[in-house]
Each structure stands twice: as C-alpha cells, then as structure tokens.
Amino acid sequence: MCQIAIYPGTFDPVTYGHIDIIKRAQEVFSEVIVAVAHNPHKKPLFDVGERVALLKKATKDFKSVEVCDFNGLVVDFAHKRKAKVLIRGLRMLSDFEYEFQMALTNRKISPDIETIFMMPQESYSYLSSKLLKEVASMGADISSFVPDFVEAALKSKLGK
C-alpha cells in the first residue's frame, strides 16, 4: 500500500454506497482523497462546502481519508496531489458505458493516471444521489440509504 488514490465525484449528497467504496478503498490505498467536484453543469442541490462538510462528517473515523474540493479536470488535480489512481464507483451495468468513456478520456489526456473501478456492496448497488433526492422530495424514508445527518440536511434543503 503505497499509492495515493482520488475518489472524485459530485456526492450530492453522500450515500452509504459512496461511504462503502471509501471504506474499502482505504484498505487498498495508503491515502484516499475524496475530491468533491464543483461541477455546476450538474446543478447540485448542496453547494460544494455543504457536500464537503457532509463527507467529512461521514468519514471522520476513517484513518487515511482526506476530503476536499476541486475545480477543473480531475487528472490535473491528481497531478497536483501526486496521485496515480482514480477510483470510480460502478453500481449497475448502466454506469459502465459513461464511466468507461470517462476513464478512456482521462487516459488519453493523462496516460500516467490509472482508473480503478470499485463496486459497492450489493445492498447499495442500485443507490444514486439523484434517485435519493427525488424520493426524499416526495417524503420517502431514506434512512437506510444515508446517515441520519445527511437525511436531516436533505430534508431541510428540500423543505420537508
């Protein structure tokens, strides 16, 4: 274990699926940097500071995990942080095409950075932040998908 890995994403909001990948990644890599993308094109519900704060709280007991935000290309951020590995989560087959395209683009831009795909536990394999926001907006119980503080923040943000 001597590599620094970056787990980039929007994390709007962080779910148990994300947390599962972070937890397992820290067993493989000496340092895991959870990098929260600004990415205004996705029109996130939570601003970047809120997403970073929720992730910091979710990973506060993890040994070798740092949470921060970044702007621009993830491969540029990886170079700045001297990371050689990007971690991408794959839930279902439907994720693969997009993630594969992104990994190949990143490889073309920066051949020295590898992309590693990790899958969450099966119980989280269908979970997405987008779906959670949608069902939470309709008043569904999401307590089995996110930590209680994330659920509270989401309900507050949605006015529920």
Q: Which of the 8 DSSP states describes residue 41?
A: G
Write down the catalytic residue from 24, 79, 81, 91: 91
- pLDDT greater than 90 at residue 157: yes
Every domain of the chain and the residues it spans = 4-158
Q: Mind listing the pLDDT tens digit for each residue in 56-91?
A: 999 999 989 999 999 999 999 999 999 999 999 988
Q: What is the pLDDT at residue 2?
A: 63
- 105 token code pair: 């683009």
pTM exceeding 0.85: yes
* Angle at 32 (CA atoms; ends 28, 38), nearest 5 degrees: 140
Is residue 18 part of the annotated active site? The answer reads yes
Is residue 42 part of the annotated active site? The answer reads yes
Is residue 129 part of the annotated active site? The answer reads yes
Sheet holding 31-37, edge to edge: 65-70, 31-37, 4-9, 85-89, 114-118
pLDDT bin (cut points 50, 70, 90) of residue 95 is confident
- Which residue type occupies 116? I
Superfamily of domain 4-158: HUPs (3.40.50.620)
- Helices 48-58, 16-28: inter-axial angle, 10-degree rounding: 60
Is residue 30 part of the annotated active site? The answer reads no
- pLDDT greater than 80 at residue 36: yes
Write down the catalytic residue from 23, 51, 88, 129: 129
